[in-house]
Amino acid sequence: MSNAPLTRLTDDEIIFRDAVLGFARDRVAPHVHAMDAAGQMKPELIRPLFEMGLMGVEVPERFGGAEASFFTAILAVEALATVDPSVSVFVDVQNTLVNNAVLRWGTDDQKKRYLTKLSSEWVGAYALSEPGSGSDAFALKTRAEKRGDDYVLNGTKLWITNGAEASVYVLMANVDPSKGYRGITAFLVERDFPGFTVGKKEDKLGIRASSTTELLLEDCVVPAANVLGEVGKGYKIAIETLNEGRIGIGAQMIGLAQGAFDYAMGYMLERKQFGHAIAEFQGMEFQYAQVATEIEAARLMVYNAARLKDAGLPFVKEAAMAKLFSSQVAERAASMCVEFLGGVGFTKEYPVEKFYRDAKIGKIYEGTSNMQLATIAKLLRRVYASRQG
């Protein structure tokens, strides 16, 4: 069993969460339907996210960040997702993947150069996946060749969240394919580096306002000073960063589930059949009570994993479990909420239809459900084997 810190919120955390919820409802909600239809985030929303400190939650104050906890970032991701999971993942990738990677592995100069901009004006993206490299992340084909004081990168990245808006990318390439995954190296690649191009944007089922693009590197010149961490240690950066990122996806999924549920409950209390609100019928009560219970269970798992991470305790198994379960709950909850609304739930006029489409990605990105199960099983074997020894 985990020696897990308490999952309840402090007064300051409640104030912060409610402020983000207020922003989401007042500033984001009016644009959700149009952004989903257009498949693009409204550019005018990006600046306020920086102004609220949501794009640099853990970044130290000396670099312009909020210098708050990882758990605080998780609260922001959850709160935004109750209104729009697309805006939520925009903030999530910035904090749990990009900023975290630079914070942990960057040199003092890299932190000063990039965290300052990532906290104030630059959007970041995380570029690991490729056309032939998904769950098998270390089968990547992008190459980096050392030439003088630079590296020259060639290859294609795919499924890159925030790809259209980003100014800097944490990008993985292999400097020595003969070493396999031990040749993988992380680079900080700026959008205007020679030979770098943002390619096609995907037309997706859900989270449509979140850009998902390919990246093309054709003799892309990257200064050697932009190697993040040590040469050949990109695999370690990728693994450790994604372990934290999965908690962020868990937060997105519980926020999504809560947003759909909140709307459905409001509808069921107003909608009357046979002289009674449909929420009063026992057949409905049993169903929405079950959904609410699963959302709360998923929330506790996500909060627990985030608290463990902040406390410096082992959290990889808990993060995988939280991501796995919260994505299952989000899909079930959103599906049930469509049914709670009946026919209107199937129309785009009501938001639960969008939550349902948005939920599917939770089982896919930042490690599929099967990859989470494999991670959980491996760690369980290790624990039980040690007991037998």
Catalytic residue annotation: 366
β partners of residue 127:
171
Reading the block at residue 371, the tokens are 């990859």
Alpha helices, H only, 94-146? 100-105, 108-110, 116-120
Q: Quickly count: other Cβ atoms within 10 Å of residue 347's Cβ.
A: 11
Q: CA 176 to CA 202: how far, in whole Å? A: 31
Q: Is the dihedral of CA 267, 269, 272, 278 positive or negative?
A: positive
Q: Going by C-beta distance under 8 Å and a sequence separation of 6 or more, which residues neighbour residue 226?
A: 110, 187, 188, 189
- Residue 211: exposure state from Cβ atoms within 10 A (0-12, 13-18, ≥19): buried
> Which of 77, 78, 40, 26 is closest to 55 using CA atoms?
77
Place of tokens 């896919």: 364
DSSP state of 136: S
CA distance 35 to 49: 16
| Identity at 119, one-letter amino acid code | S
- Number of neighbours of residue 380 by Cβ within 10 angstroms: 11
Q: What distance in Å separates the CA atoms of residue 163 and residue 124, rounded to the nearest whole number? A: 8
Q: Say how many C-beta atoms besides its own lie within 10 A of residue 70's C-beta.
A: 21
